[in-house]
């Protein structure tokens, strides 16, 4: 489940980067995609190390939390909304929301994590915060540029 979330985020950033011609934006989105791929590998390593798998195969309260979060915008939004993104502004606004939802999801998982899982979650939460800052800065820059008379 965590691997799927990160993999879908990676695909979102890669496919979104291809939608637009501005090279700095493409490079920034591709860099975030590489980081999302690294997150997926971290979760895969947890499973390979014999983690209790509570984060990927939840039960009880963890399962209820995971189901509620996944029924929200996190994965559904990635599946349904991506095809409707038509502009750089749309893409970056969606990415800001996705990063916020992802952080909220991971913050909630901390309550159910083993010490090793918690260590990985804290690392990834820190990186997701950086993604939110990066995407927010890209969005702010794009909004400022769009106000210029030579925008186009």
Question: Structural domain boundaries of the chain?
Answer: 2-146
pLDDT at 76: 59
Q: What is the structure's pLDDT at 27?
A: 93
Q: What is the pLDDT of residue 152?
A: 57
CA distance 42 to 9: 15
Q: Are 113 and 55 in contact (CB under 8 A)?
A: yes
**At a CB cut-off of 8 Å and minimum separation 6, what does 122 contact?**
110
This prediction's pTM: 0.79
Long-range CB contact pairs, 138-147, < 8 A, 24+ = 138/25, 138/28, 138/92, 139/89, 139/92, 139/93, 139/95, 139/96, 142/25, 142/88, 142/89, 142/92, 143/89, 146/89
20 backbone dihedrals φ, ψ, rounded to 5°: -125, 155
Which CATH class for the 2-146 domain? mainly alpha
Res 74: pLDDT: 59
**102 neighbors 9 (Cβ within 8 angstroms):** yes
Instruction: Give me the residues of the chain with pLDDT under 50, please.
Output: 52-54
pLDDT of residue 52: 45
pLDDT of residue 16: 87
Please give the pLDDT value at position 55.
52
pLDDT at position 53: 47
């Amino acid at each position: 489940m965590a691997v799927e979330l990160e993999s879908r985020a990676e695909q979102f950033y890669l496919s979104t980067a291809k939608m637009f011609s501005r090279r700095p934006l493409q490079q920034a989105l591709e860099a975030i995609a590489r980081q999302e791929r690294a997150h997926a590998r971290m979760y895969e390593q947890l499973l390979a190390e014999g983690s209790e798998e509570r984060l990927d195969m939840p039960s009880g309260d963890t399962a209820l939390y995971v189901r509620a979060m996944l029924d929200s915008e996190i994965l559904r939004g990635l599946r349904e909304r991506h095809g409707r993104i038509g502009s750089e502004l749309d893409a970056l606004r969606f990415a800001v929301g996705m990063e916020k939802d992802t952080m909220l999801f991971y913050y909630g998982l901390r309550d159910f994590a083993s010490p090793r899982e918690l260590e990985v979650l804290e690392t990834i939460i820190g990186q997701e915060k950086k993604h939110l800052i990066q995407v927010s800065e890209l969005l702010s820059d794009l909004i400022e540029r769009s106000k210029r008379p030579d925008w186009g």
